[in-house]
Amino acid sequence: MLQLRPAATLRALHEGGVAFVLVGGVAAILNGAPVNTFDVDVVHSRDIDNVARLVRVLEDLDAVYRMQPERRLKPNGSHLSSAGHQNLITRYGPLDLLGTISRNLAYRDLIPHSIELNISEGLRIRVLNLETLIAIKEELNGEKDRAVLPVLRRTLEEKRKL
């Protein structure tokens, strides 16, 4: 049976020394929002050394592009150095590697808007904060972004009461 293992994906990136910020649905869940998703979205540092580490981790994860998976096209350093999005499938499930999000926000732009969370023993990762997740969804303003905004906004309100 197909199994999604987002924690294993994040552990592989972390242990491979990859610098990244978790964004998207899994970031919303870790921030306490009761939403659902099927993929792991991360914005990675596009520094040359980080991209080299990322390529090694992706090799270990058997990552290939989700588009035409039968061709088993692998992302390379050039793809991962771009500002674009790489939509991959790995042995732990879908993984989207985003060079930038929203208005060209890159890894270093997101660091001040992220928090570090423990997600399992010895695994502490950087996660985009709820305020910024909401701001990005508001800016994107697509149908799927608008659909999730009420839950994100109410979660932020409830968090602020704690």
Residue ranges that bind another protein, judged by CB under 8 A: 1-7, 26, 29-30, 32-34, 36-38, 117-120, 127, 150-151, 154-155, 158-159, 162
Count Cα neighbours of 70 within 13 Å in the Cβ-side half-sphere.
Answer: 0
Q: How far is the CB of 132 from another protein (least distance, A)?
A: 17
Task: Check residue 24 and report its DSSP letter.
Answer: H
Q: Could you tell me how far CA 95 lies from the centroid of its own chain?
A: 7
Residue 84 Cβ vs another protein, minimum distance, rounded to whole Å: 26
* C-beta of 9 vs 50, nearer to another protein: 9
- Whose Cβ is closer to another protein: residue 52's or residue 147's? 147
Q: Among residues 117 and 135, whose Cβ is nearest to another protein? A: 117
Strands 93-98 and 40-44: parallel
**Phi/psi at 39 (5° precision):** -125, 160
Do the beta carbons of residue 13 and residue 42 sit within 8 Å?
A: yes
Shortest distance, position 26 Cβ to another protein, whole Å: 7
